[in-house]
Amino acid sequence: MFTLRKKTQEQPGGPHVVEWQPQADDLLRKSGNYTLDQIHEEFDREFKLNPDLEKLRVDPIADVYVTPVADRRYSVIWKLKGGSDRKVAVVSAVVPVRFAGEAEGVSLKQRVKNAVLLESGGRLKLDF
């Protein structure tokens, strides 16, 4: 009998952390546990090494961002908290969509909200 263990990797340097909200994992789990683990690993690693990673600002007042992951096939929607010495990324959703600024008069903020609403089957409404 084999025992599966989740691969963990210690991240060097910096007190920066990523908090995954349960609804983000629920949305991502639809794509499979392997995808969930890979996206967690990639986003955690990149944010901990450089909290100013590639991102699009969705809402400047609420400090909400979108970052592409998994060869740009998914987008992590997250909120930045904390100060200059310790930054926290609170991940609220992950969707299989790529975003790029304004499109056809619809703001990035509204497109992100629509994508999350659609992907969650109407169960998750972002509050920014």
Whichever domain contains 112, its CATH number is 3.30.2310.20
Q: Is residue 35 domain-resident?
A: yes
Nearest to 43 by CA among 16, 4, 15, 83: 16
Domain interval for residue 91: 17-119
Q: Is residue 42 domain-resident?
A: yes
C-alpha span between 77 and 10 (Å, rounded): 23
What's the predicted TM-score (pTM) here? 0.80
99/16: higher pLDDT: 16
Q: Is residue 3 domain-resident?
A: no
Nearest to 55 by CA among 25, 33, 85, 77: 77
For β-strands 74-82 and 87-95, DSSP reports them as: antiparallel
| pLDDT > 90: percent of the chain | 48
Q: What is the pLDDT of residue 14?
A: 60
Q: Is residue 88 domain-resident?
A: yes
Q: How many domains does the chain have?
A: 1
Q: Is residue 28 domain-resident?
A: yes
Q: Is residue 32 domain-resident?
A: yes
